[in-house]
A and B are shown apart, each in its own frame.
Chain A
């Protein structure tokens, strides 16, 4: 038998019994599909987080006061925003200051039921610095920071029951009515602002008596100089006590999220592997039965001059092709599952080609392993006994 004849001869049994072939290959297909889908989905989710990071930028830094020697939190020096803006690679910086006041939909609601919404005084530059967008209205500007105007974070807006600016809604902040001028979209790199309402520094000073010392300064830097800015930020913010300043990069949290979920992925991969092994046993089982059923075919081929080796190769190739069929189907199925899931989540689809290759390679190896015993049995049949049914 020529090598080029092997695939045709080896696939003959599969072509003859199509339903059995499909069902047997299904076992392997499910295992491979599960593994490819697990890898594909976790990789798509990671790719999505990284794409988000890319879009949000990793050049946003956040400066907050640390604890002093007595464990007390002291606000940043009032001079901090100006000093920070003087660092050359800083593109923009915006200070915010938490205001000890509650926000309510109306004055009829008791002050205890403020819904956990923080009131934050801010500078107009905040929006550009954090890369925020408005779902309605406008952000605070130099004019409106002096008046009782408020911009709602996305979660704060939904808790207050305000989804748009129709009817000029107002909210009740610390005993004063504020007009809602804008509502923010969710801000991934400043999730705390989603649960806040933002008012101008000037009006906050006037109504609530806060000083100029900010509680947070957010800094957008040249993307290539993030680390060098980070290195000097503490000393710039508070030259007397740089140790009292904490500098963080909010995008680090997202990056960390991308790296987690490894243990769950491993567990699911293990389950897929179990399915795969069961599929492999199924192939071995079906091949043993096939050899019993096809005694006369084996006898005939031996009579026509097939060597033991020819028969062995035929059945081994059949098992491998069966597994390969399952593997390729499974890889396609797993990719489809990944694509559908990723699309539903709004992710970019990412299926590592290594996972596809490993899936198909694994099924090949499994098929070869499962086919050895039946193939050896087929080859061992004595031609005279195989051809004359007893």
Chain B
């Protein structure tokens, strides 16, 4: 296992003074001047109570939405002003999502679900399936490749979703409450898998409100009322 030396690290995610307002009377300011930076190979927990702006932050760093003000750069590319086509391409190539509700398509088996992540990157079908099979092996679900989501346990479904997030080898994996729908034991298994992927070199941001999960991460960013309250890096063990 190789971990990139600090000198080689470069910023994957950069947020400078990001403001996000939602229209309304009065307008809701979900993010209020956030500066946030993630470099390659990092594992970061973003914590905060509900309403602190976690979801909005996820939308910003996942290129699902554009900021009202400030600058979001993903892999060095500025999100603001990108047309839909290029923004979509940025998501396809640079970001892997893991959702609380898994968001697997029930009509497809595990392998096809994982392969769908490569569909919008113009990868040929056979290559998609080959790489999806590898990703499923990586999360320990090679034997469940042809099961559909309803036939899988919650933990297995989240592993399939993680395989889908990493199959395209994205610059950053965004996990939004990945254990939120799981019991604590399978939740721990999923977090172990996240850490394993991190050791293997993936850059991962985990959004959670679970303090115990955050405590086990090398870096924790605390969000409150749309601002970063604290940003602590644990002393490496």
A interface residues (Cβ-Cβ under 8 A, vs B): 1-2, 4-5, 9, 12, 15-16, 296-297, 299-310, 382-384, 387-389
Contacts and interface: CB of A to CB of B under 8 A. Distances in A.
Contacts of A308: 84, 88
B124 interface: yes
Contact of B55 (A302, A306, A382, A388): A388
Nearest to B120: A305
Given A15-B107, A308-B84, A302 B125 contact: no
Interface string B103-123: 101111000000011011110
A388 B89 CA distance: 21
Contact of B64 (A9, A306, A310, A384): A384
B93 interface: yes
Contacts of B62: 303
A127 B82 CA distance: 91
A9 B105 CA distance: 12
Interface of B: 55, 59, 62, 64-65, 84-85, 88-89, 91-93, 95, 97, 99, 101, 103, 105-108, 116-117, 119-122, 124-125, 164
A1 B119 contact: yes
B97 A303 contact: yes
22 contacts: A1-B120, A4-B125, A5-B125, A12-B105, A12-B107, A300-B103, A300-B105, A301-B116, A301-B120, A302-B64, A303-B95, A303-B97, A304-B92, A304-B116, A305-B88, A305-B121, A306-B88, A307-B84, A307-B89, A310-B120, A383-B64, A384-B64
Contacts, number: 73
Contacts of A310: 88, 120
A296 B99 CA distance: 11
A305 B89 contact: yes
A382 B107 contact: no
A193 B116 CA distance: 78
A305 B92 contact: yes
B122 A1 contact: yes
B199 to A, nearest CB: 25
Contact of A16 (B59, B107, B117, B119): B107
Contacts of B92: 304-306
A149 to B, nearest CB: 82
A309 B85 CA distance: 8
A305 B93 CA distance: 8
B91 A305 contact: yes
A2 B93 contact: no
Best-buried of A303, A307, A309, A384 by chain B (most CB within 10 Å): A303
Contacts of A301: 116, 120
Given A382-B65, A383-B64, A307 B85 contact: yes
A200 to B, nearest CB: 84
Nearest to A296: B103
Q: Which 3 A-B pairs have the closest CB atoms?
A: A305-B92, A305-B120, A16-B107
Contacts of B164: 304
A301 B105 CA distance: 10
B107 A387 contact: no
Contacts of B119: 1, 5, 9, 304, 306
Nearest to A14: B107
A281 to B, nearest CB: 26
A15 B84 CA distance: 29
A303 B107 CA distance: 19
B84 A303 contact: no
A44 to B, nearest CB: 42
Contacts of B116: 301, 304
Nearest to B99: A387
B88 A302 contact: yes
Given A5-B125, A302-B91, 12 more contacts: A4-B125, A5-B119, A9-B119, A15-B107, A303-B91, A303-B95, A304-B97, A305-B121, A306-B88, A306-B92, A307-B84, A308-B88
A2 B124 contact: yes
A387 B106 contact: no
Contacts of A306: 88, 92, 119-120
Contacts of B105: 12, 297, 300
A264 B201 CA distance: 75
Contacts of B91: 302-305
A387 to B, nearest CB: 7
Contacts of B65: 382-384
A16 B104 CA distance: 13
Best-buried of A2, A305, A382 by chain B (most CB within 10 Å): A305
A299 B59 CA distance: 12
Best-buried of B65, B91, B125 by chain A (most CB within 10 Å): B91
B59 A384 contact: yes
Contacts of B122: 1-2
Nearest to B164: A304
Given A1-B120, A305-B93, A305-B121, A387 B88 contact: no
Contacts of B120: 1, 301, 304-307, 310
A364 B164 CA distance: 35
A387 B84 contact: no
Nearest to B88: A307
Nearest to B125: A5
A327 B85 CA distance: 34
A301 B120 CA distance: 9
A129 to B, nearest CB: 73
Contacts of A388: 55
A384 B105 CA distance: 18
